[in-house]
Amino acid sequence: MAVMMSAQDLAFGYGGKAIGQGVDISVNSGEVMCLMGPNGCGKTTLFRTLLGLLPPLGGRLEMRGRPVQAYTRAEFARHVAYVPQAGSSYFPFTVLNVVMMARASRIGTFATPSAHDRELSFAALDRLGLSHLAERSFNEISGGERQMTLIARALVQEAELIVMDEPTASLDFGNQARVLDCINELRGSGLSIVLSTHDPGHAFACADRAVLMKQGRVVADGSPSEAVTPESLHGLYGVEVAVEFMQGAGRSICAPALGRFRQE
């Protein structure tokens, strides 16, 4: 399998101060990697570095065998798309226009989108079941719809790798499932995806690889069943966690064992 992005002995952080170091990870073509770790362990800082927004403080970071810093922003955007957390929105644009804006990396920032760009944007919305929202204001749709719109936006960028920062954060149960389903569908189409999550069960739901990070260092990296275990999760979060296969869901799920269970 071709390596899409790789980091070797990567150190990353802000203003010369390392938040993480000694990170060796690689994302293969068509692979979904799920990154997890406690608050403040450095997930977002690592993502900013992978996205070329922060310069590496040490080590090597390559996209398709070429240092990330050697790419121009426009060139890089043709390979890598970013899905930020939807949060609150201040985009006074229609959903279709928010998606279409991502075509800028293909057509030039100041070029006018063509009928083809419009068609592609509409098709991406349709693929995620959002076409009925195309003319609605991005400010006036729900958080889940916004998150899915941002995924559609990443798709029209036609990148090979999509980096998603906690794509299920603040989504209700149904929308979390829709986003995970959507990631699974994209995974089948050959795209590489790196996502972060606070629910280790998401690794079983949609990932080929799980990477566990603590205090800026990778402490486990493997298939979800190798890397996500009661022991590794206890080491990561300091709580007892049950990791069990659930027949009805067709995959393993993770649930913290609360006080009542600990005493049994």
Ligand X SMILES: Nc1ncnc2c1ncn2[C@@H]1O[C@H](COP(=O)(O)OP(=O)(O)OP(=O)(O)O)[C@@H](O)[C@H]1O
Binding ligand X (rule: CB under 6 A), the pick from 5, 19, 141, 179 is: 19
- The stretch near ligand X (CB under 6 A) out of 34-42, 97-105, 135-143, 153-161 is 34-42
Q: How many CB atoms lie within 10 A of CB 189?
A: 9
Nearer to ligand X, 54 or 104 (CB): 54
Q: Between residues 43 and 178, which has the closer beta carbon with respect to ligand X?
A: 43
- Least distance from ligand X to the Cβ atom of residue 1, Å: 27
Other CB atoms within a 10 A radius of the CB of residue 73 amount to 10
Contacts with ligand X by CB under 6 A: the residue count is 10
Closer residue to ligand X in complex, CB, 3/18: 18
Query: Closest CB to ligand X among 14 and 261?
Result: 14
Q: What element of type H or E holds 222? A: strand 217-222
Q: CA 264, 203, 242: angle at the middle one, nearest 5?
A: 5
- Find the binder of ligand X among 2, 8, 14, 231 (CB under 6 A): 14
Query: Beta-strand (E) ranges in 64-106?
Result: 66-67, 80-83
Smallest distance, ligand X to C-beta of residue 68, A: 18
Write out the binding residues for ligand X, residues 39-98 only, by CB under 6 A. Answer: 39-45
Query: What is the nearest approach in angstroms of ligand X to the Cβ of residue 19?
Result: 5
User: 78, 132 in Cβ contact below 8 A?
Assistant: no
Q: Element (H or E) spanning 243, and its range?
A: strand 241-246
Cβ contacts of 76 within 8 Å, gap of 6 or more: 52, 63, 68
Runs of H (alpha helix) within 139-240: 143-156, 173-187, 201-206, 224-227, 230-237
Nearer to ligand X, 13 or 30 (CB): 13
201 binds ligand X per the rule CB under 6 A: no
String marking each residue 158-197 x if it binds ligand X according to CB under 6 A: ----------------------------------------
For residue 49 the two structure tokens come to 């570095």
Binding residues vs ligand X (CB under 6 A): 14, 19, 37, 39-45
